[in-house]
Structure 1
Amino acid sequence: MALNILFAGRPDRWDEYRPTLSRAFQEAGLDAVIRDDLPPAEVDYIVYAPNGPVQDFTPYTRAKAVLSLWAGVEKVVGNKTLTMPLTRMVDHGLAQGMREWVTGHVLRHHLGMDRDILNREARWEPVVPPLAEERKVTVLGLGALGRICAETLASLGFDVTGWSRAQKQIDGIRCLAGEDGLQEALTGAEIVVLLLPFTSETENVINAQTLDLMAKGAVIINPGRGPLIDDEALLSALDSGQISHATLDVFRVEPLPQDHPYWAHPRVTVTPHIAAETRARTSSEVIAENVRRNEAGEPMLFLVDRDAGY
């Protein structure tokens, strides 16, 4: 009997996902009906995005799992109608996209590329950057995305420190944990990359106190979650010169309001939440693999811990 798979992502992405999901399920050896309009009581699995049409999971009495297309689950993890297992998205496309975006912006700030790109006054002022091994980079968050970014930066020679709430061990990375570890990780950091999940414990992890721990003129790069930053504290640090630049891809309110101070600030680069977009082809492969695993009685990948919030 065929499995009924409901696509409950953003409606305008259905045409993109229809062929990739169909192909992924076929390659996984699964007989599946994949549609965006199945009767709730007949659905076996829900392919889900928080900006899609499903907010109340109560009618989906037969559903075995909700498979999110997003890496972040803060918009759904507290939904009391969602009682079945929930997985988050970690896939090759998401990880590779994040690695490329983070590496590009770390190198941009490390090399001081803006200085030359924006030089319109014909100033001949040679500034030689330090070697990567002389640049202290801290990555906050060592999950799948944080880890791959930290490893890539270390492979380029950067002096990389990683911090996570639970202790991790990664070859070539100084890994710290806990409150004391956070202070140590940020003390003297010259480039800080934020890749933590958003929870009550990580909100405003970048604040007036933690900003003061960083090296004078440090750079903040945030492709993680907007609420990780106390915006007023960051703006104050940018104005004082404690932070020389912030490259921000995520915000508390998105799209970022046109009157937000970040848009006009000369030391802020705004990118429109593009650091790690979910790709239909690679995410479909993860969705199909998780359904295959569950049907075979194997543990699903990237199962969300409701208590931890991710």
Structure 2
Amino acid sequence: MNITICVAQTKAAPWEEGFRALLPDARVSTWKAGDPQADYAIVWSPPQEFLDEQAGLKAMFNIGAGVDAIMKLRLPPQTQVVRLDDAGMSVQMAEYVCHAVIRHFREFDGYEADIAAGQWSYRKPRSRADFSVGVMGMGVLGERVARALRVFEFPVHGWSRTPKAVEGVVCHAGTDRFDTFLSSCRVLVNLLPLTPDTQDILNRKTLSRLQPGGYVINVARGAHLVEDDLIHLLDSGHLSGATLDVFRTEPLPADHPFWQHPKVTVTPHTSARTLRDESIAQIAGKIVALSRGEPIAGVVHRDRGY
């Protein structure tokens, strides 16, 4: 078995070592142009040259949850693209989203500003019943986030392409239920995969359907959000704020208005980081299953893009 690693913006050596430890009979190496054909590939943002040379791959495993960068490339027709199911990311995402929702709900940002100004302030407690949270994208991460929010007794709505059932969550599915879903939300969390159908889905039209004083949390991809539309709705007062972890250009340019906007909280794409050991263990298990002819989870549907 020949495994090749092609990972941009991260060190390949620890991935090599991890796979050698779990798959001692496999040949594991970091890809270089002209290398022999591999059976399986571990990738992050691979170049087109890699795919052109490795046209005989049986499967390609992405070390992150989102596969939008890969789906833009010309893929070998027989190669399965496989995303991570979880590998420790869902609990991180639940932590991040719950923190953002609670920080907004409890007005901790306002308290922080008052304390910085030396003011001892008081704010009237808000009712959770008035703070319904909508989760767009009810995959592994979205479902985990929705369940976590229910622990804090927020009303939770979920929206997905196909019907889902999650205890305690009002689930909406399909385009005909999208407007109803949006109008049910005071806080909107985006966890959708990025596809041609979902690019720019957070725009002036859709965000205007949120309840007055709505709040936006984007932890999926920067290309989901039309940035100027968000700023317009914040400045008009229809939206009360946003927490943004992903951006169209990363790192976020120094002159970008999000840095200084008083209603925007920025974090550097850190809501759910890949945990290497957990990811290696999951991928190694899937490689063994595929080599035995067994089905695996996480195979991307090319027609859907996720």
**Is TM more than 0.5 here?**
yes
TM-score by length of 2: 0.93
Q: Hey, what's the Cα distance between the residues in 2 that align with 1:76 and 1:61?
A: 14
Q: Hey, what's the Cα distance between the residues in 2 that align with 1:233 and 1:47?
A: 37
Distance 1:282 1:197, change over 3 A: same
Q: Hey, what's the Cα distance between the residues in 2 that align with 1:124 and 1:188?
A: 34
Q: Hey, what's the Cα distance between the residues in 1 that align with 2:82 and 2:125?
A: 43
Question: Which SS does the other structure have where 1:151 is aligned?
Answer: helix
Greater CA deviation, 52-61 or 207-216?
52-61
Q: In percent, how many aligned pairs have the same letter?
A: 33
TM-score by length of 1: 0.91
Q: Aligned AA for 1:141?
A: G
For 1:110-125, list aligned pairs within 5 A: 110-119=105-114, 120-125=116-121
Greater CA deviation, 248-257 or 52-61?
52-61
2:85 is equivalent to residue 82 of structure 1: no
Question: Which SS does the other structure have where 1:13 is aligned?
Answer: coil
Q: Aligned AA for 1:173?
A: V
Give the CA deviation at 1:188. Answer: 4.4
Q: Hey, what's the Cα distance between the residues in 2 that align with 1:172 and 1:8?
A: 42
2:151 is equivalent to residue 158 of structure 1: no
Q: Which runs of at least 4 in structure 1 moved beyond 6 Å after TM superposition?
A: none
For 1:101-112, list aligned pairs within 5 A: 101-112=96-107
Report the counterpart of residue 137 of structure 1 in structure 2. Answer: 133
Q: Hey, what's the Cα distance between the residues in 2 that align with 1:53 and 1:229?
A: 26
Q: Hey, what's the Cα distance between the residues in 2 that align with 1:69 and 1:233?
A: 32
Report the counterpart of residue 60 of structure 1 in structure 2. Answer: 54
2:288 is equivalent to residue 292 of structure 1: yes
Mind listing any 5+ residue stretches in structure 1 that lack a counterpart?
A: none
Paired residues in the alignment total 303
Task: Please list the CA deviations of residues 165-223 of structure 1 after superposition, one character each: whole Å capped at 9, or x if unmatched.
Answer: 11111111100012231111111421110000111211222211222211222110001
Report the counterpart of residue 204 of structure 1 in structure 2. Answer: 200
2:209 is equivalent to residue 213 of structure 1: yes
Q: Hey, what's the Cα distance between the residues in 1 that align with 2:175 and 2:48?
A: 38
Greater CA deviation, 160-169 or 92-101?
92-101
Task: Please list the CA deviations of residues 66-123 of structure 1 after superposition, one character each: whole Å capped at 9, or x if unmatched.
Answer: 1111211111113224331111122231212211111111111111111112212333
Distance 1:124 1:11, change over 3 A: closer
Distance 1:63 1:185, change over 3 A: same
Report the counterpart of residue 20 of structure 1 in structure 2. Answer: 18
Checking the alignment, whether the CA contact within 8 Å between 2:157 and 2:184 is kept in structure 1 is no
2:272 is equivalent to residue 276 of structure 1: yes
Question: Which SS does the other structure have where 1:58 is aligned?
Answer: helix
Q: Hey, what's the Cα distance between the residues in 1 that align with 2:11 and 2:107?
A: 38
2:4 pairs with one of 3, 6, 20: 6
Task: Please list the CA deviations of residues 210-242 of structure 1 after superposition, one character each: whole Å capped at 9, or x if unmatched.
Answer: 222112221100011112111111010011111
